[in-house]
Amino acid sequence: MNVNQSAPPVPPFGQPQPVYLGHHQSSYGGQPGPTTAPTSYGTYNGPVPGYQQTPPPGVSRAPPSSGAPPASTAQGPCGQTAYGQFGQGDVQNGPSSTVQMQRLPGYQPFGSAILAPVVSQPAVLQPYGPPPTSAQVTAQLAGMQISGTVAPASPPSGLGYGPPTSLASASGSFPNSGLYGSYPQGQAPPLGQAQGHPGTQPPQRSVPLQASSFTPPASGGPRMPSMTGPPLPGQSFGGPPVSQPNHVSSLAPQALPPGTQMTGPPGPPLPPMHSSQQPGYQLQQNGSFGPTRGPQSNYGSPYPGAATFGSQPGPPQPLPPKRLDPDAIPSPIQVIEDDRNNRGSEPFVTGVRGQVPPLVTTNFLVKDQGNASPRYIRCTSYNIPCTSDMAKQAQVPLAAVIKPLARLPPEEASPYVVDHGESGPLRCNRCKAYMCPFMQFVEGGRRFQCCFCSCINDVPPQYFQHLDHTGKRVDAYDRPELSLGSYEFLATVDYCKNNKFPSPPAFIFMIDVSYNAIRSGLVRLLCEELKSLLDFLPREGGAEESAIRVGFVTYNKVLHFYNVKSSLAQPQMMVVSDVGDMFVPLLDGFLVNVNESQAVITSLLDQIPEMFADTRETETVFAPVIQAGMEALKAAECAGKLFLFHTSLPIAEAPGKLKNRDDRKLINTDKEKTLFQPQTGAYQTLAKECVAQGCCVDLFLFPNQYVDVATLSVVPQLTGGSVYKYACFQVENDQERFLSDLRRDVQKVVGFDAVMRVRTSTGIRAVDFFGAFYMNNTTDVELAGLDGDKTVTVEFKHDDRLNEENGALMQCALLYTSCAGQRRLRIHNLALNCCTQLADLYRNCETDTLINYMAKFAYRGVLSSPVKTVRDTLITQCAQILACYRKNCASPSSAGQLILPECMKLLPVYLNCVLKSDVLQPGAEVTTDDRAYVRQLVTSMDVAETNVFFYPRLLPLTKSPIENTTEPPAVRASEERLSNGDIYLLENGLNLFLWVGASVQQGVVQSLFGVSSFSQITSGLSVLPVLDNLLSKKVQGLIDSLRAQRSRYMKLIVVKQEDKLETLFKHFLVEDKSLSGGASYVDFLCHMHKEIRQLLS
C-alpha cells in the first residue's frame, strides 16, 4: 500500500487506493509508545509537493509545528519512515515494527501522472483536446459553412445564457432578431398552480409564500435589534480594531487604518481629497445623499432614487452636488491584489482553528493539518458570536459554502480512503458523527468523548491505541481520520440501499430529434461527437475502462429506445408512443458497455441523423423522457445520469405538458415571482422519484424561443444536475461552446445517490440549505448526483450559547456511490473560533462568501416575494451589518463618516452588483428564461464563481509590454477605466468580451485581427484569427487560460467602441449606473451611508 511520506500520493477520489486498512493493522497493544511510533505524519500531512520541490527521498521529515508526535526513527526497509501500518492486510494486531511499506506499481514521487487525481489529470481530461471530429463534421454538414480560422461575424448569441440583446448584430445574421420582443406574450400564469407548490425548493424548506414573511437571512429578528442597547460586557468602544491579522499584513502598500473611512462632516462642501493625502480610503462629501455627480459624463445623471432603492424615501435635496472620487472608495482590484501579494506565496496550513483563508482570487496551496481545505468549505465568518443575541445584533449571516467533491490542484492530495473493514467507520453512538481529529480520547484510550455532543463512547478493541503524555493517540498521525480535515471511509453494506452494494452507474443519452433539433444541425453534431466522447467516460484510478454503462433514447412526441447489444449486427429501435404511461420496452441490450458494443453504438450514432433528417415533427414531450430514463435505471437497479438534449416548450399531449406563460408585464409586480416558479407541480413529483432512484438529470437546452426554463430546470435542480442553455443554437456559431461544455460534463467525476449531512457541535446547528438537491426532512441533503463543481450553502443558527474555549465545530459527511460503483463516505471537518466581542466577528469575515450566501438567499427569495422586497431586504441587512460595526467596533467619529470594517469594505460594491443583477433588476433585453437560468445557476455556484459573476474581471491587454505573458492586473469594471487606445478582455465566468478602443494603434489591430484598420474589424466576431506574432499568441493564450479556469466555456464576443454591441458590454461594467436603473457604485455607497446613519440616529 502506498503511503509515502515525502510524496503524498494523490489518488483520484474515485480510485480505490490508497486504502488504509486501519483495523487490520497492528496498533492494538503493539505500540509501546512514541519511541516506536512511526513518524508517519508526513505521510499525508507532509509538505505538499508543490512547494517542496526537491525532497530528499527516503529521509523522514520533521513533524510539523502543530504537534506531531516526536520524530521517531522507526524506519521501513528502504530506510524510509515506516508508515506501513496502513497498508498491511496481512498483519493482524501484530507489532507495527514488522510492517513494511509497499509501493504501488509504477509509483513515482511528486505528482506522478499515474496517481494524479482524475479530475486534473491531463491524461484523462485533455487527451480529448482539440475537437477531434470537427473536421469530419464540417465535411458532413454540407452547406453548413463551418469556417476556417476566422468565424463569420457571429450573432451576439454567445452570452452564457442566451442571446444578449435585441440589437441587430453588425452582420445582420442573427436569425431571430426580433426574438425578445416577439416572444408570445403569454397568458397570465395559472395562479392556482403557481401557488400550489413552493417553487423548486424542497417542501419542508420552502420559503413562505406570503411576501410579508420574507425575512432577513441572518436572524429573522427585528430589523434593527439592539442597536441602541448597551454594549456587551467587555465590549470596547475605545478605538478601532487594532490588528487585522487575516487581511492586512505589513506588505500592504498603504498603511490602511483598520476601518475604511469616508469622512464627510456636515457643513460646507469640501473639495474632494485625494487618497494620497490620507491613509486609507477617505473622501469628502457633503454628507447628504442626493445627486452626486457621476464619475464620468455617461453616468452623471442623478442618484437613481426610489426606483432603485425601493422603500427608501426620496433623498433630501442636497446642496451642491459633490463629486466622489472613485479612486478614494474601496477598490475590489486593490483588495484582490493586496491579498495576492500578501498571501499568495505561503501555503495555507489548516492546523489553526478559525483562520481566515486567502481570498478565492488568490492562488495558494493548502496543507491539510486537521481542518478541511477552503476548497471544500468556506465560511462567512471564522469567528462566530457566542450568543444568538450577538449574532442578531450584527446581522452577519453565519453560513458555510461547501463543495464536498471539489477538484484540487495537482499539487494537493485527494482525500485518503480509510477502510475499517466490516465494522465500518467509527461513529459516535449518540449523534452519529464520524471519527475525526476533534474527538477526545480518554481513560487511557479506551473511550472517546464526542466533540459534537459530548457523549462518551467505547473504543472498539480493534481500534484501541495508547495515548501519549498529551492525551493524544500515538497513532494519531498515522490515521487520516485522526489528523486530517478531509478523508474518506469505505462504506459497508449497511450504508447501501436495500443492504446491497450498488451496481456501477449508467449514463443515458436522450436526444430530441424534432424538426428544430435536426434543422439546427444539433443532432448530427451531437451524434458525431458521442462516437468519440464515449471513450472518455469517467473511470476510477487506473481502471482501463469506465464501469459506466450507456444507453440511448431519441424522442419528439414519442420515444425511441435502442437495443445496442454487442451481439447485434445493427441497432434495433423500439418506439413507445404511449407517453402517458411510460415504460421501458427492453431491458437486455439497452444499457451496455461502451467497448463491447462499440460497433453497434457507432452504427446507431451514424444512423440517427439520417433516420430523422426529413422529420416534420415540431412538437416534443419532456416529462415522459425523464420518466423513461429513470425507469430504465430502476429496472437496471443502478444509479446514473440522464443527458437530455432538448429544444422546445413541450406542448405535445403528455404528462408535464406546458404552455407559454411568459409575460414580461409581470416584472415589477407582485406576480413577478410566478415567472420563477414552475407552472406545474408534475416535475417536482417526478424529481422526487428520480432522487429515490439516484437518477441525476443534466439538461442541455437549445431554445429558439421561450421554453420555460423555470419549469424545465426543476428536475435537474432537485437531482443535483446541471442546466446548459444555447439560445438560437447554430452549429457554425455555437458548436465550440456546446461541445466544450458537453465534453467536460460527460467526463467529470460524479458521486451518485448521495446524502449529505452537516453536524455541528452543541450551540449551533444547520438550519437552512441552498443548492441543487432535494430534502425530504430537515437534515438530510439528498443528491441524486453531485459533481466537483456543485456547492451546497448551509446556514447556521444558535440554539445555545457557545464558548470561546471550545469554539464551534462542523462535520460534513457525504455518502455517495463512486463512478465505479463503490459506496463511500467523504468527511470534511472544520473548527471555528467563537467570540464575545463583535470586533472579533468583524475581523474574521469573508465578504466573498457573504455575497455568495446573500445572493443565494435573495435568488431563492424571488420565488416567494416581490423582487423589490428582496432587494430592500438585502440593502437593509447590509446597512445593519455595517451600522453595528460602526456603533460597536469603530472609534467614535462624526456621523458624517462612513467607516467600513476592513474585511467588509467591499460589501457595498459587491452587494450592489447582486442588486442590479439580471434576476433582481432585469434590463429590457433579458428574457424570462435568462433570469430563470441564471437564478438556478447561481444556486450551485462556489465562492469564486459568484465573485467573478457579480463583479467581472476586466483585463487590459495592451498596457503591459507584449513580452510580459503573465495575466495583466485587472482594472475596475467601469467605463472610465477604459482607454480608447487599448484593448480589454472582460469575463464573468459565463461571458467573455474583447473590447477594442476606437484609437487603438493600427499595428495592434493588424497583429490581433489581421486587418489594417479599426473600421475593418468585424463587430461580434467570436474567433480571433490565429496569427504568427507575439500579441496574437499572448491574447489567445490568455483567452485559453481564462476559459480553463471556468466550469463553462465562455464564448468570445468582440465589441468595438461606439458599436451597437457596446451596450451589451457595458451591462457588465458594474461600477457604473446600469440601463435598467441599477445604481453606480458611488451612488450606492452614498445610499448605504445614509441608511447606516438612519440606523444609528
Report the interface residues with Zn ion, using CB under 5 A. 428, 430-431, 433, 450, 452-453, 455
**Can you tell me the distance from the alpha carbon of 132 to that of 136, in angstroms, rounded to the nearest whole number?**
8
Least distance CB 761 / Zn ion (angstroms)? 9
Least distance CB 493 / Zn ion (angstroms)? 24
Least distance CB 947 / Zn ion (angstroms)? 35
**Can you tell me the distance from the alpha carbon of 1066 to that of 975, in angstroms, rounded to the nearest whole number?**
7
Least distance CB 429 / Zn ion (angstroms)? 7
Which neighbouring-strand residues pair with 695?
640
Nearer to Zn ion, 141 or 758 (CB): 758
- The residue among 646, 764, 773, 759 whose CA lies nearest residue 714 is 773
Q: Give the CA distances from residue 857 to residues 257, 690, 1087, in Å, rounded to whole numbers and listed in that order.
A: 32, 26, 22
Question: DSSP of 44-103, one letter per residue?
Answer: HHS--GGG--S--TTPPPPPPTTTPPPP---B-TTSSB--GGGT-TT--S--GGG---B-
Nearer to Zn ion, 372 or 433 (CB): 433
Nearer to Zn ion, 438 or 645 (CB): 438
Least distance CB 449 / Zn ion (angstroms)? 9
Task: Quickly tell me which residue has 478582455 as its cell.
Answer: 985
3-state SS class at 191: helix
Nearer to Zn ion, 307 or 455 (CB): 455
C-alpha atoms less than 13 angstroms from C-alpha of 273 in its C-beta half-sphere: 18
Question: DSSP of 314-362, one letter per residue?
Answer: PPPPPSS-EE--GGGS--HHHHHHHHHHHHSSS-EETTSTTPPPPPTTS
Nearer to Zn ion, 682 or 813 (CB): 813
Least distance CB 756 / Zn ion (angstroms)? 18
Nearer to Zn ion, 333 or 442 (CB): 442
Q: Give the CA distances from residue 1015 to residues 143, 167, 168, 708, 1005, in Å, rounded to whole numbers and listed in that order.
A: 29, 19, 18, 40, 10
Is there a contact between 938 and 855 (Cβ–Cβ < 8 Å)? yes
Least distance CB 813 / Zn ion (angstroms)? 13
**Can you tell me the distance from the alpha carbon of 258 to that of 238, in angstroms, rounded to the nearest whole number?**
14
Nearer to Zn ion, 429 or 669 (CB): 429
How many C-beta neighbours within 10 Å does residue 866 have? 19
Write out the three cell numbers for 811.
462535520
**Can you tell me the distance from the alpha carbon of 335 to that of 968, in angstroms, rounded to the nearest whole number?**
16
Nearer to Zn ion, 103 or 427 (CB): 427
In single-letter form, the type of residue at position 217 comes to: P
3-state SS class at 941: coil
Beta pairing class for 377-379 and 348-349: unpaired
Least distance CB 559 / Zn ion (angstroms)? 49
The torsion angles phi and psi of 511, rounded to 5 degrees, stand at: -115, 120
Least distance CB 767 / Zn ion (angstroms)? 19
Is there a contact between 898 and 1064 (Cβ–Cβ < 8 Å)? no
The torsion angles phi and psi of 832, rounded to 5 degrees, stand at: -115, 155
C-alpha atoms less than 13 angstroms from C-alpha of 664 in its C-beta half-sphere: 18
Least distance CB 815 / Zn ion (angstroms)? 18
In single-letter form, the type of residue at position 878 comes to: C
Least distance CB 420 / Zn ion (angstroms)? 18
Write out the three cell numbers for 799.
440554539
Task: Quickly tell me which residue has 486609507 as its cell.
Answer: 280
Nearer to Zn ion, 446 or 665 (CB): 446
C-alpha atoms less than 13 angstroms from C-alpha of 290 in its C-beta half-sphere: 10
Nearer to Zn ion, 426 or 433 (CB): 433
**Can you tell me the distance from the alpha carbon of 369 to that of 351, in angstroms, rounded to the nearest whole number?**
4
Least distance CB 432 / Zn ion (angstroms)? 7
Least distance CB 351 / Zn ion (angstroms)? 23
Nearer to Zn ion, 450 or 654 (CB): 450
**Can you tell me the distance from the alpha carbon of 949 to that of 395, in angstroms, rounded to the nearest whole number?**
25
Nearer to Zn ion, 274 or 446 (CB): 446
Nearer to Zn ion, 273 or 453 (CB): 453
Least distance CB 450 / Zn ion (angstroms)? 3
Least distance CB 762 / Zn ion (angstroms)? 9
Nearer to Zn ion, 214 or 452 (CB): 452
Beta pairing class for 764-770 and 792-798: antiparallel
Is there a contact between 768 and 795 (Cβ–Cβ < 8 Å)? yes
Least distance CB 427 / Zn ion (angstroms)? 8
Nearer to Zn ion, 450 or 513 (CB): 450
Q: What is the 3-state secondary structure (H, E, C) of 532-558?
A: HHHHHCCCCCCCCCCCCEEEEEEECCC
- The residue among 544, 396, 461, 484 whose CA lies nearest residue 844 is 396
**Can you tell me the distance from the alpha carbon of 122 to that of 139, in angstroms, rounded to the nearest whole number?**
29
Nearer to Zn ion, 428 or 1054 (CB): 428
3-state SS class at 250: coil
Question: DSSP of 488-525, one letter per residue?
Answer: EEE--GGGSGGGSPPPPPEEEEEEE-SHHHHHTTHHHH
Nearer to Zn ion, 447 or 665 (CB): 447
Least distance CB 830 / Zn ion (angstroms)? 17
Least distance CB 803 / Zn ion (angstroms)? 18
Nearer to Zn ion, 450 or 632 (CB): 450
